[in-house]
Structure 1
């Protein structure tokens, strides 16, 4: 990862035409610094900017001159070079500094740093929002008219979190993990001179696989149709379990008809993996694109014993295994997407976006998905170190490491079975997000929990005065080796290439065999009946 950052700077293109060229100068080379960089990329992906990230040691005068704005990301405490200090101080454009090393930059001397302090709350007018845990920020002393955002210390003292003077901004936190990332994203409205777009709601029905109860799903679809709510349906084409049971949608025509009904009446289909499992777990429970038992990317077949570093005599041999594993992962994800899209389209179901099971996927995985989908749904894994490292922006975003994909984030969670507090937690998150000027208020729901729980979620989302996201109304592109799908203004275009015919032929042959067996059974029964009558 470090090699990639040094050799090939990150380019973020939020729109094809951009009015801002942002240079991110980063101090910090550890894994945590890379996570913070990813979060910043996601935040910037919400804006009409093109950005490039470089390490502070790689700064050049040419890079500085080409930028209309600079963001300094001080993740690591260190001594900055004299050249960097001089270039930052003489830069005439907008400047946003985050975290450490401000005392070394003369243009930020107005901050009056007074050490570090623990905070417990954010303050919005007269409202307070508790942080998930205590956070460390720099204590700064500035004039009141320079303060953009206030925090509250453990003893109840209010101190600045974001401050500005002229075209210089400062964010006093040492991490961008939420809710700090959401606060920074809102601060960028002023920095980039952008008007807030308000709130957007979305609802997603999750884990719809071939063993789902079609009648229960139809009931919920009718309810959402009556409410005139557009929504998404995360679909898994194949159900399997540890006992070897395998069911495809072609085996459950009633469920297919229900999905078509949903697609016709407000639903947009999301491909939620192919089997939603990797080793021997049940579909919907297991991970598919992350080896959760070893907390690493998919390097081998699920049926194989996972190889570890101790299985190799040398580091060179182990690195060879990793290289081969990365090649395997690319083929594995590509096959899942190709098969998943083909099986759905053969049934008349048209996926417009992709969602990784449990939101778990490697950075290479996102690159593979981006070759096939323009739209991604949910939260984003920001490290290959662990699937537990994830982030969701407050708004739709197009970060660099999603390679052109737009992510529509899930922000308020879901109804958890046997957790009576989950609805209240969702309500609390809505309340927190409403402190901002724009955000997605988005949730998902598992239909097996029944119609009453769905109504509860709709009621929570109904408290927000905002439009619903209709994915079909957006411009989505899906491309495989055999199929092209696109949507715009509520219409879906389907183009089947010549090679796709094999899937249709397979389905036709399957139907012929089934109908043949039924016909043989009927004929056999009639012959037996006739023979018995003659013999009697």
Structure 2
């Protein structure tokens, strides 16, 4: 009798532990029905211009950047639809479905005769990028028609000249000259007569060679390996290829980096007041929570009213908030932004997680923390700009706008600086590039680096150029770069003047013409939505699983022993 009572008690305990673990797991995973509300994807648009991007390889030897993806994302600045195809997979007459053909030669292995034969007959615009062009120009009739021949490969190139769109007459002056520091091989074409138009030259200090040119329907650029002046030239030439005449003036933005509850609110106010006095709008990169690296305590902005009021004050002075992930560690350190959130930084690989659920939870917690404090982000940025394509696709469900640098590789951490905004691509609804670098605390050359980067980016028509400034730096350091931009008579980007949207469940935020509208159902984030210990629930879960497992073993042991005793009693 007593033994049966013990069994009943044990069953009740097991049931209690089982249902407790379910509740804990529900809190930890916070799994909900996720509605795919992806906005403005390129598949939804009927684009007139179709591009076939044919390539021999997608990456340079020893590098992790996916050049094919970079080109495809860059083309998102124009109303075109891109289909990529390895040259080995090319089938007869594939080329004739498209208005443009872009050929990317990394190794130059274009021995597919079917592709070359179709390319000879193709009457649309051809843009050959990099190596392998000798395979196309081996046809004598093409050489005569285009007034071009293959000269060969040259190296030891130290200078490149590009006047940009303001002055299409090639002048070998200092204003148009940029120095090259890497050792690359350049495939060079020889022009015959005056028909080919040369847009850019390279030089070894003695001889000059065409770097970018056009002859009839054929365009050529020798190399775009680095995201520097060579890539700027490529990006600017796209306007000519697509015959776009009216291009809006370029714009510059200043972003205040790692604004969080540990920031010095007095410095933040001074930064905002200075930029406001110069009539410069700015972007606030807000981190909603930080983890104390000693105690593991999660510090939310809701716990710091003075900080929340400071952010609102910055917004009134011209700031626009974007969400920089949800949580970062080392919250008590001056040098913030060290941690990865959407990338495994220790092993340099993608995070091992269900990205749909992972990002859903992060976005929900981050946005809720903001809106409950009447702070309304208009965009998103991943810490250290580290995120693979899975993450980009999830983020674009909830945010119209992503700001930062682009990671083209899903295997290794690497970033690329695009020169202008792109729209409706595989990775983004709208991408706002940050490409000028940042002011550094102890680096006296950081201002010079920003100026040099701007000289390159500003060669691109319709550029968007971004620089960031750490919130822990003295506001006086910002004056150096502001005065430089003022001297260049640039226009500054005000993100809230553009159309942006954020949609997540009941949270809906949108901006247009400087006005921000927000709708949401008010909740109490201070008590239940934000966990106070990072991984606290997960730890309880693990303990419960161990306890349940132990009691299951004990229960089975008692059950079989009891059954054996009952059998022995029956036999007696």
Partner of 2:457: 433
Gaps of 5+ in 1: 1-10, 300-324, 511-536
Partner of 1:255: 307
Change (3 A) 1:14 1:264: farther
Q: For residues 466 and 18 of structure 1, what CA distance do their matches in structure 2 show?
A: 32
Q: Map residues 87-486 of structure 1 onto 2, 5 A cutoff.
A: 87-105=118-136, 106=139, 109=143, 110-118=147-155, 119-124=157-162, 125=171, 126=173, 127-143=176-192, 144-173=194-223, 175=225, 177-195=227-245, 196-243=247-294, 244-277=296-329, 284-299=337-352, 325=353, 327=354, 329-387=355-413, 389-398=414-423, 400-402=425-427, 404-486=428-510
Contact 1:39 1:181 in 2 (8 A): no
Shift of 1:189: 1.1
Partner of 2:87: 56
Contact 1:12 1:50 in 2 (8 A): no
Match for 1:76 among 107, 130, 145? 107
Partner of 2:14: none
Q: For residues 232 and 109 of structure 2, what CA distance do their matches in structure 1 show?
A: 27
Task: Indicate the larger mover: 126-135 or 101-110.
Answer: 101-110
Task: Indicate the larger mover: 240-249 or 287-296.
Answer: 240-249
SS of 2:351's equivalent in the other structure is: coil
Q: For residues 289 and 472 of structure 1, what CA distance do their matches in structure 2 show?
A: 26
SS of 1:133's equivalent in the other structure is: coil
Q: For residues 174 and 455 of structure 1, what CA distance do their matches in structure 2 show?
A: 34
Shift of 1:380: 0.7
Change (3 A) 1:431 1:81: closer
Residues 309-346 of structure 1: CA deviation (Å, up to 9, x unaligned): xxxxxxxxxxxxxxxx4x2x432222111111110011
Q: For residues 423 and 82 of structure 1, what CA distance do their matches in structure 2 show?
A: 51
Shift of 1:399: 6.3
Contact 2:224 2:230 in 1 (8 A): no
RCO (CA 8 Å, sep 6+): is it higher in 1 or 2?
2
Change (3 A) 1:12 1:507: closer
Contact 1:447 1:454 in 2 (8 A): no
Contact 2:77 2:421 in 1 (8 A): yes
Aligned length: 468
Q: For residues 278 and 142 of structure 1, what CA distance do their matches in structure 2 show?
A: 58
Residues 172-204 of structure 1: CA deviation (Å, up to 9, x unaligned): 226364332211111111110012333211111
SS of 1:288's equivalent in the other structure is: coil
Change (3 A) 1:222 1:348: same
Partner of 1:304: none
Contact 2:257 2:471 in 1 (8 A): yes
Q: For residues 73 and 205 of structure 1, what CA distance do their matches in structure 2 show?
A: 37
* Structure whose alpha-carbon radius of gyration is higher: 2
SS of 2:182's equivalent in the other structure is: strand
Contact 2:148 2:196 in 1 (8 A): no
Q: For residues 515 and 232 of structure 2, what CA distance do their matches in structure 1 show?
A: 33
Q: For residues 331 and 494 of structure 2, what CA distance do their matches in structure 1 show?
A: 35
In the superposition, the TM-score normalised over structure 1's length comes to 0.81
Residues 495-518 of structure 1: CA deviation (Å, up to 9, x unaligned): 215xx635488599x9xxxxxxxx
Task: Indicate the larger mover: 372-381 or 52-61.
Answer: 52-61
Residues 43-91 of structure 1: CA deviation (Å, up to 9, x unaligned): 2112121111112233345642321111112223324322211211111
Residues 438-475 of structure 1: CA deviation (Å, up to 9, x unaligned): 42232110121111012222112222223211111111
In the superposition, the TM-score normalised over structure 2's length comes to 0.76
Tell whether 2:59 aligns with 1:22.
no
Q: For residues 226 and 197 of structure 1, what CA distance do their matches in structure 2 show?
A: 26
Q: For residues 132 and 241 of structure 1, what CA distance do their matches in structure 2 show?
A: 42
Shift of 1:97: 1.2
Partner of 1:534: none
Q: For residues 156 and 437 of structure 1, what CA distance do their matches in structure 2 show?
A: 30
Contact 2:178 2:229 in 1 (8 A): no
Change (3 A) 1:99 1:232: same
Partner of 1:307: none
Partner of 2:165: none
Shift of 1:155: 3.9
Change (3 A) 1:231 1:438: same
